[in-house]
Structure 1
């Protein structure tokens, strides 16, 4: 039985991704990050919704401003407990690196990447982002970042 795949549309991000909207791209990167871990999709979706929709951690600055202890608590509230401590630490590192190296913007990563491959490599350089997270992210963000492949 195939596991349900969450989509950007289900999270209300599809239109923003089509336009390569800075805020939508960050939210989708955050969603891809939590969905990229070996954890139940329902738990990952709940974690995303708690972090972004309930707590408002929808920008790198807001995410970085939340304490690691608070992130662990929020992930625990979503029952994202198997990787809560490591995920909280990596979310902090992701937001800080994005702010320090890319002015807090996924579109800045795109501007600095001469190719799709380079863009993917830059994403992989973030601690906690692996091939699965990149696959999930690019599945729905690539068209907005690089134009439609139709």
Structure 2
């Protein structure tokens, strides 16, 4: 008696996209485009996601910051430290709220000073060099290597640096038995869905139950 054959990788990828193909930016209500405000909002979300905290909590906290008017670098810098703490607290982001409030304020000032509040200038400064993009992002307080990967993973479609599958996304691919070479992985999905696919792979890396559910649905 033979065991069940592994599902076709393309079918697994389609199943994953259908079930979990939503970027973290979309969850936070960010309509990501290559314009200053949404690019900055993604930076804020990236800062929040970089801490050891649940993704859903980071998303909720980002929504509260934006609802309180802190939607661009200037408004973030002009908000008081306590206003930022209060918004983070309303989103359930309490363990790291004080440190993160400071980071957000300092980060907003850096973005204003270096890029006039427009992260497209960071993109222009780095050109198509993703290593340099990562280095410049890591100059922002609160953004380390993990945060730079998050930002580039989410921004890859609008900044046309595809395919960008970081180590965490590739761990998700491994868990599903998908190719772990980024170009091979990219061939499984439409070229305008790389960011959504990468986000879905990260969810697989973070939760074995997601992987099992996708495999079962793809095998049905």
TM-score, with length taken from structure 2 = 0.60
Farther off after superposition, 31-40 or 89-98: 31-40
Q: Which sits farther off after the overlay, 79-88 or 20-29?
A: 20-29
For residue 138 of structure 1, the aligned residue among 152, 161, 180 is 152
Q: Distance in 1 between matches of 2:141 and 2:27?
A: 26
Aligned to 1:32: 46
SS class of match (2:112): helix
Q: Which moved more, 1:29-38 or 1:92-101?
A: 29-38
Match of residue 65, structure 2, among 34, 46, 51: 51
Aligned residues: 143
Contact 2:74 2:112 in 1 (8 A): yes
Does residue 42 (structure 1) correspond to residue 61 (structure 2)? The answer is no
Unpaired stretches in structure 1, ≥5 consecutive residues: none
Bigger relative CO (Cα 8 Å, ≥ 6 apart): 1
Bigger CA radius of gyration: 2
Matches for 1:57-76 after TM superposition, within 5 Å: 57-76=70-89
Task: Describe the SS at the equivalent of 2:25.
Answer: coil
Choose from 100, 121, 134 the match for 1:108.
121
State the 1:46 CA deviation: 1.2
Deviation at 1:147, TM superposition (A): 5.1
Distance 1:72 1:9 in 2: 23
Q: Is the 8 A contact 1:6 1:41 kept in 2?
A: no
Aligned Cα RMSD in Å? 1.9
